[in-house]
Structure formats: structure tokens, C-alpha cells
Amino acid sequence: MPRRRDAVVRRTKPPETKVRQSEANLGRQNQNQPGKPDRPVDAQRPKYIRWGMIDLTPEIADSLADMGYSEPSEIQRLAIPPLLAGRDVVGQAVTGSGKTSAFGIPMAETVNPNSRNVEGLVLVPTRELAQQVAKEISAVGKKLGVKVAAVYGGEPINRQIDQLERGVPIVVGTPGRIKDHMSRRTLDLGNVRFAVLDEADEMLDIGFADDMEFILRRTPSNRQTALFSATIPGFILKLIRRYLDDPVWVKLIQEFDGIKTAAEVQQVYYDVAERDKVRAVEEILDEIHENAQTLIFRRMQVGVDRLARDLDRAGYAVKGIHGGMSQRDRDRVMRAFREGTLRVLIATNVAARGLDISTITHVINYDMPDNVEEYVHRVGRTARMGKEGTAISFVGEHDQEIIEKVVGKVGNDVLQRKLLNIYAR
Ligand code: ADP
Ligand code: MG
């Protein structure tokens, strides 16, 4: 594909956003060359197809149509053009706004689909997110034949090695496993042109900072870099300064100390004593309609197991997911939840970030999160892409401080206090 950019151009020239326009014009001039005989219809196919106001390769536009993406979401509308022009981008938008394709589309456009070298790299904090993001980018690149490998821990490494040895242009993975492959020399990042840090703050939070830096430092420094997250706390700024080059900031969040939840989430909290929480969650599960899909957050793995057991005994069809389970079990549970055969999932924060299951109608903070950002991410698992959702928080004996912080940030008009029936008598 002649129009694919040479990543090296970027640093030797001042940043400019005209690359594609001028390429497109060139294409058009050629087509209109005087004296040329009329060409068959096929040859006149546009070099680009408009998607919203964005020019895309026809195959990619085709794939997007198949995915039902009739137009770009706002973050896509704002982030894709600078990314296609070769700029670094920091993208900040509420959860569920379509950030994956905001980098996935330009990545599929950028890499050479036939390359056996890794040209696009996406780092994500969790295994489930690696699977999800890889799937989305493969869908975007499907008609163009762009292959994507997901690389994460917990899965037999040999299968991943085979896949990497066959050669893929795009790799999506968790920092730990990517580093592992690098040290086994089954993954060479020396040809990366475009690197993305998705949910970078979470990757730092869960201790991937060193791995991330290790990885980025082994990619060419003239690569293009993008960082996407719903929240950008102060310590991310250092990372941005170090690894992004004069980035374009796309910020779709009305600054509220950097915190904003999707407007469509109805948010309530209940005061619940620790010992009454099982009854409280039963009351809530009994009240919500049977087609609801509910994600319940607990702090600890043992808490997930315990609540799953208690609710199971009480006759609810529930499953738990956490980092202590085998990847096979995690996959099985996630599949059932995605397919909708499982309506209630209990999870640790392993499920707080990035997971996109558009059918989730309710999020329950059975245990409160540790901080406001975590609250925003958990709540962001519902009300995806403009759908409605409800977030319910249980405020226990020790949660006064955190609930005050959350109310202070999101506002008491948004987060309303209610009373459970178990306390009404
Ligand atoms: P984020 O990373 O911002 O939390 P995701 O990338 O996970 O959001 O996307 C959220 C949902 O929106 C997904 O189900 C995705 O398939 C859908 N989506 C993304 N872009 C579009 C689009 N342009 N049109 C329709 N649906 C979209
Ligand atoms: Mg995401």
C-alpha cells in the first residue's frame, strides 16, 4: 500500500497534519490526468472512503460497516485524524466512548498488513482486555487482512510463540507477558512504528511501570505513541513527557479534577453494615428486572469466592472472576458473561478496567473501591455508548471517607443516597 506512512518522517519534519490530504490529492490528480482513457469503474474506486469526516482505506471502511459503526464516536472523530497524520496523541474520554477503535483504526491503517514484523503494539493492564482489544482491532483490520495476536499470561506460552513466529503486524498484550516473550526472543519490537498504552494509569497502578518502560525503550524512538485512558492522574504526566513527542491532547471530559462519569449512569448509594451486605445484595438482585446484567465488585479474591458461594446457596446463578483463578476458568466465565448466559458476575478489580460488555445494566460496589478513579472506572462498565445503566454502592462502616470523596467529586445531585428495605422496617 503506497500510502502507508513512513514513521521516520515524523521526527525529521515539524509535525504536520496534511500528510493524508496531500496524498489523497495526489491520487485524485492521477485519476484526472488529461488524455487518459476512461478507466473501468473498478479503477475509479476512491482511494479513500469517508467515514464521518475521516478518510479511510475502503477495506477498513468496509469492516467498520460490518461492525455496525456507521460513524465515528467523538473521541474517534478527534483522535483519529492526528494519529493518521503521524502525531502522538493523549486521549482522555469517559469510559465506553470508543477509545479502542480511536487507536485501533489508525493502527490498522498504519501497519503493513503483510508484514511479518510487529509494527503495532498495544499494552493493556489485564488479560481480558488484551483479548477484547485484539478482537476489536482484528475486526477493524479484517477486510484488509491485518492479523492481530493477543499475548498475555496464564495461557500456554507455546501457542503464543507459534503465532508470533508466523509473524503478525500487531500485538496486543499485558506488559509482563510481552517482556517475557522479549527475553525469550520470541518477540522483537525493533520494527514497531506505533505503540499504544491503553489504561496507562491502571498499568502503573498495578505495578507495570518498569515493564512498560522496559518495553517502550526497546522500540524505535521514532515510533508514534498514543496513550488512552478515562483518567490521567498526575503521575501519568511524567510518563507522557518521557515517551510521547509533542502530543495532541484530546480531552473530552469536562474537567472536574479530572474525574467524570458517563452522564447516563444513574448512581445511588446505601449505607449497609458489613454483616448485612449479603441480604442487601439479594434485595437488589431481586428488585432488578430479570434481563439485567450485573457486575458486582469485591476487593479481595477470597471475598469474591465467598460471595459467589453465598449467593449460589441462596439460589442465584452467579460466578466469580479474579486473578487467582486459572486462565481457562477466567475465560469460561467471561465467555458466559459476554454471551449473556451468565447474568451476575462477581469480580475483583481485574474487571474494573476497559472491559466492554454493552449489556451490563448494573454495577454494584459491594466493597467500595479504594479511590475515586477506581470508582469511575468500575461505574464505567455500565452505560456503554449512550446506553443506560445503574451504579449502586454499599457504604459500610469503614467507607465514610471514600464515599465523601466520591460524592465530593461526582456531586450529590448525581450520586444519591437511598435506603434499603432491609433497614426500613
Ligand atoms: P472505551 O475504551 O472508551 O471504554 P470501547 O472502545 O470499549 O470504549 O467501546 C465501547 C463500545 O462502543 C464497544 O462496544 C464498541 O464496539 C462500541 N463502538 C466503538 N466505536 C463505535 C462506533 N463508531 N459506532 C458504534 N459503536 C462503537
Ligand atoms: Mg478501553
63 touches ligand 1 (CB under 6 Å): no
- Alpha-carbon torsion, ordered 230, 130, 347, 366, to 10 deg: 0
The residue whose CB lies within 8 Å of the most ligand 1 atoms, and thus the one to mutate among 63, 138, 250, 356, is 356
Give the integer Cα–Cα distance in Å for 244 and 142: 29
Other C-beta atoms lying within 10 Å of the C-beta of residue 418: 9
Cα 346 to Cα 5, 343, 364: the distances in Å are 45, 10, 9
The pLDDT of residue 273 = 94
Give the class (CATH, top level) of 264-423.
alpha beta
The pLDDT of residue 1 = 38
Rg (CA), the chain: 23
Contact 77, 89 (CB under 8 A): no
Q: Which residues of the chain are in CATH 3.40.50.300 domains? A: 6-253, 264-423
96 touches ligand 1 (CB under 6 Å): yes
231 touches ligand 1 (CB under 6 Å): no
Helix, strand, coil distribution of the chain in percent, nearest 5: 40, 15, 40
Instruction: Please give the distance, rounded to the nearest whole angstrom, from the Cα atom of residue 33 to the centre of ligand 1.
Output: 41
Give the integer Cα–Cα distance in Å for 150 and 171: 6
The residue whose CB lies within 8 Å of the most ligand 1 atoms, and thus the one to mutate among 56, 63, 97, is 97
Grid cell listed for 389: 445503566
The pLDDT of residue 235 = 74
Cα 270 to Cα 158, 277, 317, 327, 347: the distances in Å are 48, 10, 24, 34, 20
Per-residue pLDDT of the chain (425 residues; tens, 9 = 90+): 333 443 333 333 333 333 343 333 333 333 333 333 444 444 555 688 999 999 999 999 999 999 999 999 999 999 999 999 999 999 987 777 899 999 999 999 999 999 999 999 999 999 999 999 999 999 999 999 999 999 998 888 888 999 899 999 999 999 999 999 999 999 999 999 999 999 888 888 778 888 998 999 899 989 999 998 877 777 788 889 889 999 999 988 644 333 455 667 889 999 999 999 999 999 999 888 877 899 999 999 999 999 999 999 988 899 999 988 988 899 899 999 998 889 999 999 887 666 778 788 999 999 999 988 889 888 888 876 667 789 999 999 999 999 999 998 888 888 889 999 988 86
Q: Which of 234, 242, 376, 187 is nearest to 297 (CA)?
A: 376
99 touches ligand 1 (CB under 6 Å): yes
Other C-beta atoms lying within 10 Å of the C-beta of residue 411: 12
72 touches ligand 1 (CB under 6 Å): yes
Instruction: Please give the distance, rounded to the nearest whole angstrom, from the Cα atom of residue 94 to the centre of ligand 2.
Output: 9
Contact 83, 224 (CB under 8 A): yes
The pLDDT of residue 41 = 44
Contact 108, 100 (CB under 8 A): no
Task: Please list the residues that pair with 55 across neighbouring strands.
Answer: 50
356 touches ligand 1 (CB under 6 Å): yes
Which CATH fold would you assign to the domain 6-253? Answer: Rossmann fold (3.40.50)
Task: Please list the residues that pair with 369 across neighbouring strands.
Answer: none
Instruction: Please give the distance, rounded to the nearest whole angstrom, from the Cα atom of residue 384 to the centre of ligand 1.
Output: 8
Closest Cα to atom 24 of ligand 1: 69
Distance between terminal CA atoms of the chain? 71
Q: Going by C-beta distance under 8 Å and a sequence separation of 6 or more, which residues neighbour residue 110?
A: 4, 5, 7, 84, 119, 120, 193, 194, 224
Instruction: Please give the distance, rounded to the nearest whole angstrom, from the Cα atom of residue 78 to the centre of ligand 1.
Output: 14
3-state secondary structure of 101: helix
91 touches ligand 1 (CB under 6 Å): no
Give the integer Cα–Cα distance in Å for 262 and 384: 8
26 touches ligand 1 (CB under 6 Å): no
Contact 133, 100 (CB under 8 A): yes
Grid cell listed for 50: 469517508
E strand segments, 109-223: 120-123, 148-151, 170-173, 194-198
The pLDDT of residue 377 = 85
- Alpha-carbon torsion, ordered 238, 240, 245, 251, to 10 deg: -130
The pTM assigned to this predicted structure is 0.66
Q: Which of 178, 187, 190, 192 is nearest to 224 (CA)?
A: 192
Contact 389, 383 (CB under 8 A): yes
Other C-beta atoms lying within 10 Å of the C-beta of residue 230: 28
Could you write out the DSSP letters of every residue in 31-76?
HT-TTPPPPPGGGGS-SSEEETTEEE-HHHHHHHHHHT--S--HHH
3-state secondary structure of 218: coil
